[in-house]
Amino acid sequence: MTSSETTGRYAVTKTDAEWREQLSPQEYAVLRQAGTERPFTGEYEDTTTEGVYACRACGAELFTSSEKFASHCGWPSFFDPKDSDAVELLQDRSLGMVRTEVRCATCGSHLGHVFEGEGYPTPTDQRYCINSISLTLRPTA
Protein backbone atom coordinates (compact mmCIF):
# COMPACT_ATOMS: atom_id res chain seq x y z
CA MET A 1 0.00 0.00 0.00
CA THR A 2 1.34 3.39 -0.86
CA SER A 3 0.10 6.79 0.19
CA SER A 4 -0.94 7.50 -3.42
CA GLU A 5 -3.33 4.55 -3.17
CA THR A 6 -5.02 5.92 -0.07
CA THR A 7 -4.90 9.72 -0.39
CA GLY A 8 -8.43 11.10 -0.49
CA ARG A 9 -10.10 7.73 -0.02
CA TYR A 10 -10.24 7.86 3.78
CA ALA A 11 -11.43 10.39 6.37
CA VAL A 12 -7.85 10.63 7.70
CA THR A 13 -5.26 11.12 4.97
CA LYS A 14 -1.62 12.04 5.25
CA THR A 15 1.35 12.08 2.96
CA ASP A 16 3.91 9.33 3.17
CA ALA A 17 6.29 11.78 4.84
CA GLU A 18 3.67 12.68 7.46
CA TRP A 19 3.04 9.01 8.28
CA ARG A 20 6.80 8.39 8.57
CA GLU A 21 7.12 11.34 10.94
CA GLN A 22 4.22 10.20 13.12
CA LEU A 23 4.98 6.47 13.29
CA SER A 24 8.03 4.55 14.47
CA PRO A 25 9.83 2.55 11.74
CA GLN A 26 8.19 -0.67 13.01
CA GLU A 27 4.72 0.90 13.14
CA TYR A 28 5.18 2.34 9.66
CA ALA A 29 6.27 -1.04 8.26
CA VAL A 30 3.12 -2.74 9.55
CA LEU A 31 0.49 0.00 9.33
CA ARG A 32 1.50 1.64 6.05
CA GLN A 33 3.40 -1.14 4.23
CA ALA A 34 1.23 -4.12 5.28
CA GLY A 35 3.99 -5.81 7.23
CA THR A 36 3.53 -8.25 10.10
CA GLU A 37 5.06 -8.29 13.56
CA ARG A 38 6.66 -11.53 14.68
CA PRO A 39 4.25 -13.91 16.45
CA PHE A 40 4.18 -13.97 20.25
CA THR A 41 5.99 -10.61 20.49
CA GLY A 42 3.13 -8.07 20.52
CA GLU A 43 2.08 -6.29 23.69
CA TYR A 44 -1.62 -7.19 23.39
CA GLU A 45 -1.45 -10.88 22.48
CA ASP A 46 -2.32 -12.11 26.00
CA THR A 47 -3.83 -8.90 27.40
CA THR A 48 -7.12 -9.34 29.26
CA THR A 49 -7.53 -5.66 30.22
CA GLU A 50 -11.03 -4.38 29.52
CA GLY A 51 -11.22 -1.52 27.07
CA VAL A 52 -11.29 -0.41 23.46
CA TYR A 53 -8.59 -1.13 20.90
CA ALA A 54 -8.02 1.82 18.58
CA CYS A 55 -5.99 2.26 15.42
CA ARG A 56 -2.49 3.35 16.40
CA ALA A 57 -2.25 5.53 13.29
CA CYS A 58 -5.47 7.55 13.55
CA GLY A 59 -7.18 6.66 16.85
CA ALA A 60 -10.37 5.21 15.35
CA GLU A 61 -12.05 2.65 17.63
CA LEU A 62 -11.77 -0.80 16.05
CA PHE A 63 -12.30 -3.63 18.56
CA THR A 64 -13.31 -4.07 22.20
CA SER A 65 -12.03 -6.43 24.85
CA SER A 66 -15.42 -8.19 24.83
CA GLU A 67 -14.71 -9.42 21.27
CA LYS A 68 -11.13 -10.50 22.09
CA PHE A 69 -10.39 -14.17 22.67
CA ALA A 70 -7.39 -16.39 23.34
CA SER A 71 -6.57 -18.06 20.02
CA HIS A 72 -2.97 -18.89 20.97
CA CYS A 73 -1.90 -17.99 17.41
CA GLY A 74 0.71 -15.39 18.37
CA TRP A 75 -1.31 -12.24 17.71
CA PRO A 76 -4.32 -10.61 19.39
CA SER A 77 -7.52 -12.20 18.07
CA PHE A 78 -11.03 -10.81 17.92
CA PHE A 79 -14.20 -12.47 16.66
CA ASP A 80 -15.80 -9.24 15.42
CA PRO A 81 -14.96 -5.53 15.08
CA LYS A 82 -16.53 -2.96 17.40
CA ASP A 83 -18.70 -1.70 14.53
CA SER A 84 -19.08 -3.21 11.07
CA ASP A 85 -17.95 0.08 9.54
CA ALA A 86 -14.78 0.29 11.67
CA VAL A 87 -12.73 -1.92 9.35
CA GLU A 88 -12.61 -2.68 5.67
CA LEU A 89 -11.84 -6.08 4.22
CA LEU A 90 -9.78 -6.51 1.06
CA GLN A 91 -8.62 -9.56 -0.85
CA ASP A 92 -4.90 -10.15 -0.33
CA ARG A 93 -3.11 -12.36 -2.86
CA SER A 94 0.40 -11.80 -1.51
CA LEU A 95 2.74 -14.61 -0.47
CA GLY A 96 1.18 -17.04 -2.96
CA MET A 97 -2.14 -17.40 -1.10
CA VAL A 98 -5.55 -15.78 -0.92
CA ARG A 99 -6.38 -14.12 2.39
CA THR A 100 -8.63 -11.32 3.60
CA GLU A 101 -6.72 -8.25 4.72
CA VAL A 102 -8.18 -6.06 7.49
CA ARG A 103 -7.61 -2.30 7.24
CA CYS A 104 -8.75 0.62 9.35
CA ALA A 105 -11.74 2.13 7.53
CA THR A 106 -10.80 5.62 8.77
CA CYS A 107 -7.18 5.85 7.56
CA GLY A 108 -6.54 2.72 5.48
CA SER A 109 -3.81 1.37 7.75
CA HIS A 110 -3.08 -2.35 7.65
CA LEU A 111 -4.21 -4.15 10.79
CA GLY A 112 -3.89 -7.85 9.98
CA HIS A 113 -6.07 -10.55 8.41
CA VAL A 114 -9.37 -12.27 9.15
CA PHE A 115 -9.87 -16.03 8.87
CA GLU A 116 -13.05 -18.12 8.93
CA GLY A 117 -13.94 -21.72 9.65
CA GLU A 118 -11.04 -22.53 11.96
CA GLY A 119 -13.29 -24.05 14.63
CA TYR A 120 -12.81 -21.49 17.40
CA PRO A 121 -15.83 -21.42 19.74
CA THR A 122 -16.81 -17.83 18.91
CA PRO A 123 -20.18 -16.42 17.85
CA THR A 124 -18.95 -15.55 14.34
CA ASP A 125 -16.51 -18.42 13.58
CA GLN A 126 -14.06 -15.69 12.56
CA ARG A 127 -10.61 -14.77 13.83
CA TYR A 128 -9.47 -11.23 13.22
CA CYS A 129 -5.73 -11.78 13.62
CA ILE A 130 -4.45 -8.28 14.34
CA ASN A 131 -0.94 -6.95 14.86
CA SER A 132 -0.50 -5.48 18.35
CA ILE A 133 1.62 -2.71 16.85
CA SER A 134 -1.44 -1.61 14.83
CA LEU A 135 -3.44 -1.01 18.01
CA THR A 136 -3.57 1.18 21.10
CA LEU A 137 -5.56 -0.12 24.07
CA ARG A 138 -7.69 2.43 25.87
CA PRO A 139 -8.55 0.74 29.20
CA THR A 140 -12.02 1.13 30.65
CA ALA A 141 -11.83 3.46 33.65
- With vertex at residue 107, the alpha carbon angle to CA 105 and CA 111, rounded to the nearest 5 degrees, is 70
Read off φ and ψ for residue 135, nearest 5 degrees: -120, 160
Answer yes or no: 58 catalytic. Answer: no
Per DSSP (E only), the strands in the chain are 51-55, 61-64, 68-69, 77-78, 87-92, 99-104, 110-116, 126-130, 135-139
In the beta sheet, which residues pair with residue 54? 61, 136
Backbone phi and psi for residue 27, each to the nearest 5 degrees, phi listed first:
-65, -45
Of the residues 58, 104, 107, 129, only one is catalytic, namely 129
Catalytic residues: 129
